[in-house]
Amino acid sequence: MRPYLLMPLMLLAASSLSACDYSDKDVHVDIDNYISIHSGSIAVHAPNRPDADISAAGDLSIAGKSVTVSPTQRDLLKHYYTTALTLRDHGIATGEAGAAVAGKALSSVAAGLASGNTDKIDAEVNASAAKVTAKAALICDDLAEIRSTQQTLAGQLEVMRPYALIKADEADRCRAGLDKANHSSTAH
């Protein structure tokens, strides 16, 4: 089967993300189940540990108990929080872009088949898919940034060490996955 016929099916899965109501943006950010975002705070998960909750103000609590932090640590916690929100927002934008590409792919295929001019289908779909890839690349960048902040936090705040679970190669694997997906969608 031609890639332009598979692309709409793959992207329809992404369209479910854009169909959801994100008005309160209280969604789960799945980084191998490391982080959840809830109203006004994020929860960082670690196996066999209570969640570490970080607020927008950089407040940290573990198992419901406040942890005293220095101003520098508070700034790092704020950065961790905002990077997690940015990652979530980029994920939502990528899902919405995927839905738009799915629609474009379906209309391009239908128009191409109806007119008998199928030569333009690949180019149109691939151009639209490149926009999704660009948005998805931002997620990889966010992942690298949150991992860097995680490592700095773990070095400065001992209670955060067990929560430093995002691996060094995860952003690279994210980018490699994009490269592989991009290559397979353009290969015939």
Give domain limits for the chain.
3-20+68-186
Burial of 11 (0-12, 13-18, 19+ CB in 10 A): buried
Cα separation of 139 and 92, whole Å?
10
Query: What pTM, to 2 d.p., does this model score?
Result: 0.73
Q: Is 169 helix (H, G, I), strand (E, B) or coil?
A: coil
Cα separation of 174 and 136, whole Å?
9
Cα separation of 165 and 76, whole Å?
17
22 pLDDT higher than 50 = no
Over residues 51-63, the pLDDT tens digits come to 999 999 999 999 9
At 43 the pLDDT is 93
The DSSP secondary-structure symbol of 20 reads S
What integer best gives the mean pLDDT of the chain? Answer: 79
